[in-house]
Structure 1
Amino acid sequence: MFATIESVNLIDEAELLGSLVVESEIAEDYRRTLNTLNKDKSAQKVIAKFVEIKDLYEDVQRFGKYHPDYKEITKAMREAKRELDLHDAVIAFKKAEKELQSLLDEISAELGRAVSQHIKVPTGNPFFDTGSSCGGGCGSGGGCGCKAS
C-alpha cells in the first residue's frame, strides 16, 4: 500500500482520537479503579477464591449433574460469584469499565455511520446495534434469520 497524504492524515487523526480517549476522564477513572482493585487485598482474595472455584466448576461442568460434587461446587460457585459481584472495589471497576466500553462503542458507531449508514458496527451494545434482529453484522449471510437493513 502506498502512503498518500490522505492516508497519513487519517492515521494522524486516528492517533489524535486515540490520545483524546486515553486522556479522557472516563479512561482515567478506569485506570484509577483498576489500580484500586489491584491494590485491594480483600478484593484480590475474593478474586482468587472465585478463580479457584471457577476452575473446579468448569471441571464439574464436563460431567454435569453426574459429577459427585456437582451440587456442592455449583453452590460454591454461585456464592463466590455473588461475593465477587458485591465487593465495592469490583463494583467500582465494573462501572468504570462499562463507561469506557460505552464510550468506545459510541465512537465506533459514529465512525461507521460517518462512512455509511449500512456499515455494521459490532459493539455488543443493543443501543447501538440496530437494523437487524441479531444485533448486527452476524456474518452468516442471513443464516441466523436476520436481514441487513
Structure 2
Amino acid sequence: MLATMERINILQSAESLGQMVLQSEAGENYLLSLYKMRNDREAQQKIRSFSSLKELYEEVQRFGKYHPDYKRVNLEIREVKRAMDLHPTIAEFKKAETEIQSILDEISMKIGHAVSPQIKVPSGNPFFESLSSCSGGCGSGGSCSCSA
C-alpha cells in the first residue's frame, strides 16, 4: 500500500510540475505562439504544402538519385521548408518550442540525477549531453558511447 501511495504522490507532483511549466512565461509564450500558428491561414497553408511534398520526398528517397524526380523534389522541398520556416508565425512557434524543450530537458536532467548521477537522460540539447557520461544515444539505438 505504501508503494501505491508513493506512486500517487509522485504522479501528483509530476502533474503539479507540468502545470508550473505551462504557467511559466515560457509555457504561456509557447501556448500563445501555438494558438497564433494554428489560426494563421497562410502558416497552415505552408505547413500543408510542406507535409504533402514531404510524402513525395520520402517516396523519392526510397530510390535515391536514381528516381527521375530526385533533383526537382530535393530542390522543391528545400524551398518549401525554407519558406515555411521563415514565416513569422511559424518561426515564433519554433523558437517558443525550443525554449520549452530546453526547460523540459533541464527538468529531466535534474530529476534523473537526483535519483543517481549514473542515470542516462536522453536529450536533444548538446549542453545537457555534455553534463552526462552518455552522448544521448542510449535510448535511440544509435551510437552510444557511454560506459553502461
TM range (shorter): 0.7 to 0.9
How far has the Cα of 1:137 moved from its partner? 5.9
Answer whether contact 2:57 2:74 (CA < 8 A) is retained: yes
Root-mean-square deviation (CA), in Å? 2.4
Structure 1 gap ranges (5+) = none
Query: Matches of 2:102 and 2:129 in 1, distance apart?
Result: 12
The secondary structure found in structure 1 opposite 2:126 is coil
TM-score normalised by length of structure 2: 0.85
Partner residue, 1:127: 127
Answer whether contact 1:30 1:93 (CA < 8 A) is retained: yes
TM-score normalised by length of structure 1: 0.85
**Cα gap change, 1:60 to 1:136, in 2 (>3 Å):** closer
User: Partner amino acid for 2:121?
Assistant: V
Identity %: 53
Structure 2 gap ranges (5+) = none
The secondary structure found in structure 2 opposite 1:128 is helix
Answer whether contact 1:109 1:128 (CA < 8 A) is retained: yes
How far has the Cα of 1:118 moved from its partner? 1.1
Query: Matches of 1:30 and 1:94 in 2, distance apart?
Result: 9
Which is richer in helix?
A: 2
Answer whether contact 1:33 1:93 (CA < 8 A) is retained: yes
- For the pair shown, the structure with the greater C-alpha radius of gyration is 1
Q: CA offsets, 1:70-113, max 9 Å, x none? A: 11111111111111111111110000000010010010101111
**Cα gap change, 1:59 to 1:5, in 2 (>3 Å):** closer
Query: Matches of 1:82 and 1:139 in 2, distance apart?
Result: 30
Partner residue, 2:110: 110
Runs of 4+ in 1 over 6 A off after TM superposition: none
Query: Matches of 2:145 and 2:126 in 1, distance apart?
Result: 15
Partner residue, 2:58: 58
**Cα gap change, 1:70 to 1:8, in 2 (>3 Å):** closer
The size of the alignment, in residue pairs, is 146
**Cα gap change, 1:49 to 1:3, in 2 (>3 Å):** same
